Structures are given as structure tokens and as C-alpha cells.
Amino acid sequence: MAILFVSLTTGVGQMATDENSNQVDLSRFTSNIPPFPKCVQRVLTMLRDPRIQLTKVAEVVSLDQGFAGKVLRMANSAYFGLPRRVYNVTEALVLLGYANVRNVLISASASNILSTAVEAYGLDAGCLWEHSVGTAYAAQMLSRKIGMQVYSMAFSCGLLHDVGKVAIDLALPDESKAEMRSLIRSRGVLAAELATVGVTHSQVGGEICRRWNLPEEIIDAVSYHHKPWECSENRVIAGVVATADRCSHLLLEGSNLTVHHLADLPDGSYVPDAQSLRRLSDELPAMVASSKELLQAVAEPEPEHLT
């Protein structure tokens, strides 16, 4: 089966060099984002071994009772759709399976960050979360025809692709946020970011993921989801996230999702077939609605039994 990506143009390498020649201290932005839970970093390392038993993973998660409760509530939400309600972390992770264990852990870790209002971008509380979950689901669905390695990482890459927007917003004073909103309306997001802070949210997001010690696939997808042609190691998954990002925006804005609407995707983006787009159009609105429940699950009371 042939997998299509938007063809690459010549000369873009020099453009990337020119843009990157003006170095920006990313720590100005990344220092505002809290670290990933240590247990999650340890588990993500464990999951790199395909032979690891999920019962061992559950033991590590259960060491942090507060986080374990959040994981259990998310696993029981409609979004992840377990066949029955479960009351302990071990059973939840075993039923979820390897790919969804990573998805639940990263969702639980990033939910508080992604659910906040992002004033510099004109986003009310919950809006970035909905778009992020929509992109995550779209990336996972579109990657099914590509291969298991991309598929297993696609959700997490899509979920975190805009985390840099939160970091930039936290670093800006109110007057600069107002300037950013105005520039976004007139010039678009990336141009507004470069004019206001000299760096893009994809660059900041990639550095956040690096500091979180996340897998290279996630770091690259977040760093290059607006310029997948510049990604050397994980260009395929960066291209999938670029397309999923556009699809999520279109559907949340109420637009139809057709090949015509994706005609101006950046070079290196994944080109889905008409059947995949129809399926995504049918399924994504319901999954985004479920994302609200997924977020609400974080605030529910802690269950009594977590082991």
C-alpha cells in the first residue's frame, strides 16, 4: 500500500538555517512548565521494552497515589472505552494495552497544562485541550495505514503538539498577549510568534518534551509539525501530526473535511485518502465531545482502591 506525503520542495534547508541562526533562549519559556511526574518518565522508559509486563508498569504508577487515581479515572472515561468499569490500576492498564497505556499516562500528565486558558492565542479554558485531543485522535486514526511504530506514538504526539503555546502565554505580560492576539488575526500564528517573542510554539514545545525526557518521536513531531520537511529522523510522524492538526482545526470550526481543504498542507505532510477523511469527519466530533468528559474525570474524587 502506497503512503502519500506532500512532496518536498527545494531550498527549504537554507530557510531553516536562516531562521535558526537567531538563537533564542528557550528556557525563558520552558521554565514555566512543571516537570513530568517521575513515575511517568520511568514508565515511558519501561514501555520501550516490548517484553515488559504491564503489571510491572502498574506497580510503578501505583507508587504515586494521586497520579494513580487520575490515571484510573481517565481509563474509565468514555474516551478510552474500557469494556467494563475497573477499580484498580493494574486491571485498567492490562485492559488498555501497551499503546493506550502511554496515551493515558501522557493525557493524565498534561491535562492540567493543556486545559488552561491561553490568552495570548485567544483561547478560553478547555479550548486547547479539545483541539489537542482532536489532533491526537486524528493522528492515531490516520496513522493506522502506516505502521505500528507510528501508530503507537501518534496519539501522544498529537496531544502534545501545541504545548508550547501554554509556555509562551505564561511568559508574556498582558500587553504582549494583546499584541500577539492582534498579530495572529492579521498575520497568522507562526508570524505573530516570531514577531512577538522570536520563537515558535513548535520550537518551545519540542524543548519542553525534551526536558520531560519523552521519546524522540514525540520531540520531533512536536518540534516539526508545522515544517515536517525539516525533520530528518521522524518525518513520517511529524507529517501525520501536521495533517491531523489541520483536520482538527477544520472540524472544530465546523468546516467540511475534504481533500480540497487539505490542498495547502506544508511539504512533508501526510495525504489521507477520501475514505479516511470521511471516517474522520464522522468520528472526530464525538471524540472531541468525549474529551470534555476525559477532562472532567481529572476532578472527580479519588477512588478508594488504586493498586
What's the pLDDT at 12? 33
Domains defined along the chain, listed by start: 12-34+115-297 (1.10.3210.10)
What's the pLDDT at 4? 64
What's the pLDDT at 21? 40
Q: Is 106:215 a contact under the CB 8 Å cutoff?
A: no
What's the pLDDT at 77? 82
What's the pLDDT at 282? 87
What's the pLDDT at 235? 94
Cα separation, 121 vs 124, whole angstroms: 9
What's the pLDDT at 253? 81
Q: Is 205:189 a contact under the CB 8 Å cutoff?
A: no
The b/e string for 56-82 (b: 16+ C-beta within 10 A; e otherwise) is: ebbebbbebeebbbbbbbbbbbebbee
307 residues of the chain, pLDDT tens digit each: 446 666 544 333 333 333 444 567 888 899 889 988 888 888 888 888 888 888 999 999 998 888 888 888 888 887 777 888 988 999 999 888 877 888 888 988 898 899 999 999 999 999 999 999 999 999 999 998 888 788 889 999 999 999 999 999 999 999 999 999 999 999 999 999 999 999 999 999 999 999 999 999 999 999 999 999 999 889 999 999 999 999 998 888 877 777 777 878 888 888 888 888 888 888 888 887 777 777 766 655 544 444 4
Q: Provide the whole-model pTM.
A: 0.86
Cα separation, 125 vs 76, whole angstroms: 23
First to last CA, the chain: 44
Q: Which helix (H) or strand (E) holds 17?
A: helix 12-20
Cα separation, 113 vs 109, whole angstroms: 8
Cα separation, 278 vs 281, whole angstroms: 5
What's the pLDDT at 297? 61
pLDDT, tens only, 150-194: 888 999 999 999 999 999 999 999 999 999 999 999 999 999 999
> Which residues are paired to 123 by β-bridges?
118
Q: Which cell goes with 64?
A: 504515586
What separation in angstroms does the CA of 72 have from each of 76, 86, 140, 288, 305?
A: 6, 8, 22, 20, 10
Q: Which cell goes with 50?
A: 516490548
Cα–Cα–Cα angle for 31, 109, 293, nearest 5°? Answer: 130
